[in-house]
Amino acid sequence: MSGRDDKRGKRRGFASSVLWGAIAGFAVVFVFFMAASSLVLAEKMPESAMKALTMITALVGVSVGSVVAAKRRGPKILATGLTTGGVMFFVMLAGAVLSDAGGTFQGTPPLLFLMSIAGAALGTALCFRRKKHKRA
């Protein structure tokens, strides 16, 4: 295997890790939204709480996606986790812009960005291994 093929394989590993992390994160987001919508439909949760729940769901989903991507990749945990958070943010932002029917998009992007970065940092931090210190 030549040096060029070796580099190409590493790039594929990074991209596939980010992709699988984003898929896992969006699966968690989907499950959270299904649970929340069933609670709103059963009138056990007010509809006005959906914006806060959206931000919490983004935080949890991006955290899970970053953990999956970073564990899958191995080296370069920080870059993999933060890239997964960025990819998920842009996909969620595109979805929010395209589905903005009643002007509910106002004020959401900065909070969504903060939750995505915080989730990516949290998920990445969960993947770091602590070094065991030897006692003398």
Please report, in tens digits, the pLDDT of each residue of the chain (136 residues total).
Answer: 555 545 555 445 888 889 999 999 999 999 999 998 899 899 888 888 888 888 899 999 999 999 999 888 877 888 888 999 999 999 988 887 787 665 556 667 888 889 999 999 999 888 887 666 666 5
By residue count, the chain amounts to 136
Would the pTM of this model clear 0.85, i.e. be above it?
no
**In 1-131, which residue ranges form alpha helices assigned H by DSSP?**
3-41, 50-73, 77-98, 108-125
DSSP letter assigned to residue 132: P
Q: Please give the C-alpha separations between residue 13 and each of 5, 33, 39, 116, in angstroms, as whole numbers.
A: 12, 30, 39, 22
